[in-house]
Amino acid sequence: MKLIEILPDEQNILISLAYASHRNFTEKKIYQKDKAYLRKEAYLALNKTINIADKMGFKIKIFDAFRPVEAQKKMWEFNPDPKYIADPKKGSPHSRGVAIDLTLCTQDNVELDMGTPFDSFSQKSHHDHMDFNYEILHNRSILLGIMTLSGWDFYNNEWWHYQLHNPRKYPLLSDKAAGTNLL
């Protein structure tokens, strides 16, 4: 299964893969390459996302996209909490190539305040957490609206995580099967 690489220069977006650095909840580099991939259906939805965001004056910043099953296992071993990390036995939408973690930025590449950082495993990261000021609730609502209009479904426990509807219809992919060479 060949996945499509997301190219930031061609699509006027930012990519800062958390797991291609030590700046993530494991504090370990999981990916060896800072490249993002998606299945064709998710890639097409992302293009809609980028166009809508651009028309609204925003830019997309991607934290994670396709995550090989091998990487999912490493994350689960570090934090086996099914509220925030999918059990690799069941599989993650990321490991199917149909999920993306992202945020909105200004056209000057400044991230909008979403109330918590990416991968903040707490109640505050949930979509339905309302104990925030207007600006944060507004920013989260804009992101949710853009993603919904683009054909994505949300995961309630993480404001940054979106996936295609019915992700389990897509098979899980290893790094080798996907041909991404991330690990």
Residue 1 has pLDDT above 90, yes or no: no
Share of the chain above pLDDT 70, in %: 99
Q: Domains plus CATH for the chain?
A: 4-178 (3.30.1380.10)
pLDDT classification of 165: cutoffs 50, 70, 90: very high
Q: Cβ of 131: how many Cβ atoms within 10 Å?
A: 9
Phi–psi pair at 14, nearest 5 degrees: -115, 140
Nearest to 175 by CA among 50, 28, 32, 18: 32
Query: One of 27, 41, 70, 158 is an active-site residue; which one?
Result: 158
pLDDT, position 131: 96
Q: Is 158 among the catalytic positions?
A: yes
On the CB side of 130, how many CA atoms lie within 13 Å of its CA?
Answer: 1
Q: If you ran DSSP here, which 8-state letter would residue 111 be given?
A: B
Per-residue 3-state assignment (H helix, E strand, C coil) for 15-81: ECCHHHCCCCCCCCCCCCCCCEEECHHHHHHHHHHHHHHHHCCEEEEEEECCCCHHHHHHHHHHCCC
Strands 4-6 and 161-164, by their bridges, are unpaired
Mean per-residue pLDDT for 2-20? 94
pLDDT, position 96: 97
Mean per-residue pLDDT for 127-146? 97
pLDDT, position 175: 94
pLDDT classification of 2: cutoffs 50, 70, 90: confident
3-state secondary structure of 124: helix
Kindly report, residue by residue over 66-81, the tens digit of the pLDDT: 999 999 999 999 999 9
Mean per-residue pLDDT for 129-152? 97
Predicted TM-score (pTM) of the model is 0.96
pLDDT, position 44: 98
Kindly report the CA angle at 83 between 87 and 154, in degrees rounded to 5? 100
**Mean pLDDT of the residues in the chain:** 96
Kindly report the CA angle at 128 between 108 and 69, in degrees rounded to 5? 75
